Structure formats: structure tokens, C-alpha cells
Amino acid sequence: MAETILQLEGVTAGYGPTHVLRGIDLTLARGERLAVIGRNGAGKTTLLATIAGLTRLHGGTIRLGNRQIERLAPYRRAWLGLGIVPQTRDIFPSLTVEENLICAMRGDASLDEAYALFPRLKERRRNGGTQLSGGEQQMLSIARTLMTGPEILLLDEPLEGLAPVICEQLMAAFEQLASDGRRSVVLVEQHADAALDFANRAILMSNGAVAWNGEAAELKRRSDLLHRHVGVAIAE
Ligand SMILES: Nc1ncnc2c1ncn2[C@@H]1O[C@H](COP(=O)(O)OP(=O)(O)OP(=O)(O)O)[C@@H](O)[C@H]1O
């Protein structure tokens, strides 16, 4: 059985005094691809943000490998191998593409690898952050997180608002990133069909809790669950 790389137990978290996550238990194995599915406001972003240390933790534990990390600052979690690509992308608009990448670079990360994954970024390397299309900004946000050398990549709705052709390119890049089985990927996505095709495991979130946890392929067949928790049916 693959080694457990991330484990949440009884995690309750939110913003200030507000509780959004209510007792989350979750494990992630090395090389696993986990899809996180749920309606707007279910707590998907809050789950990723809590793993990355960006919310107020009210209770529970988070282990990364054999370390307990729930009290560590976000930058220390990043050093330990957690990389988050936020829904807001958060690229530095006054820096060029290359400068955005260089300022995140750690260890043996290389620009060549980032450019091999997203050749479009190489073409745009001297452009400022504000001169990029939405798809290019998303590629930059992903590539910049990769410069930190994450073992776990947390992707928050990376396809949101992007044209189908760009979505296909991004999904192909995720496939490539997960293909050697060393990196784990957690993908929060409204496009449940694309997320479930990519993932091997999935959770359904509802009202700040995990309502279902199992094989992604099984969830794809469970149109009753998808209907109830997401309001969509996936074409056969
Ligand atoms: N900064 C914040 N301060 C207070 N409450 C927040 C904050 N961010 C989110 N919330 C609340 O937390 C709940 C969960 O939000 P969250 O963004 O995690 O949901 P989500 O499943 O990611 O939804 P979406 O698909 O719309 O992004 C919502 O009720 C939301 O209003």
C-alpha cells in the first residue's frame, strides 16, 4: 500500500470565529490524485486553505509525512512540500513571467522544467503579469508553485473561466505532473467530469464536511450522489 503523505483528523477550521470545516478526516497517499467536488460554498477552498495554513484552525490535527504541521506558518508548510495554487492565482502583476518564477524558486527547481510544461510561458517570459491572458496567468500560477518543489500540489479550481482548449492543456499538464507517482495532487473543481477523469479518488463535500469518500470512477457512476451534492449529472 502506498505511503500516507497527508492526514487530517477531526479538522475544524474557518475564518475568525466562524467554523466552516466541521470535523474533516482525510488521508492522501503518495502519488494519489484526489478530486474534491461540491457545491459553491461547500468548503472546498477552505479545505485547501486550511491544509496550507491560511485559515483559523479551531481543532484537529494535520500531519505531513510524520510531522504534525497544523501549528506551522504557511511558508514552513511550503518548505516541507505543500504547494497551493490559489483560485485567485495571485501572480505579481509588476513582475515579468520569468521574475514571477525566479522569486519562487527553491532547491533544484529549474526554469527549463517550467517552460517544458508550459511552452507558452517561455514565449511570454518577458511579459508583465498584467499582459497575460487568463489561461497564461493560470499557467504561471501553477508553474510558480512548482518552483517551490511541492510533493503535494493543491489546485483550487484551476479551470475556472477558461476556454475548453486551455482547460485541455491544463489537464494534460496535471496528468504529466502526476505521472511519475511521486507527487500527489488534490484538485478542487466545478468541472466534475474532468476532475473525476483525472483523479483516482474523490471526496464530495457538503456543508463543511466530507459527505462521501471513495473511488473517482465509482463517483462518476453515482449520478444520484452527484445530483444531490453538486446538482450535475455526468454524461456517460
Ligand atoms: N474569508 C472568509 N471569511 C468568512 N467566511 C468565508 C471566507 N471565505 C469563505 N467563507 C465562507 O466559507 C464557506 C465555504 O466557502 P469556500 O470558499 O470554502 O467554499 P467552496 O466550496 O470553495 O465554494 P466555491 O466553489 O464557490 O469556491 C462559505 O459559506 C463562505 O461564505
Domain at 215, CATH number: 3.40.50.300
Placement of cell 461547500 in the chain: 42
14 within domain boundaries: no
Mean pLDDT of 61-70: 96
Q: How large is the ipTM?
A: 0.95
Does residue 48's CB lie within 6 angstroms of at least one atom of ligand 1? no
Q: Is the pLDDT of residue 90 over 90?
A: no
- The structural domain count of the chain equals 1
Does residue 86's CB lie within 6 angstroms of at least one atom of ligand 1? no
Does residue 45's CB lie within 6 angstroms of at least one atom of ligand 1? yes
Alpha helices (runs of H) in the chain, residue ranges in sequence order = 44-52, 74-79, 97-102, 111-117, 119-123, 134-146, 164-178, 192-198, 216-221, 223-229
184 within domain boundaries: yes
Who has greater pLDDT, 124 or 190? 124
161 within domain boundaries: yes
Range of the domain at 103: 33-54+82-229
Ligand 1 centre and the CA of 98: distance in Å? 32
Output the pLDDT for position 235: 54
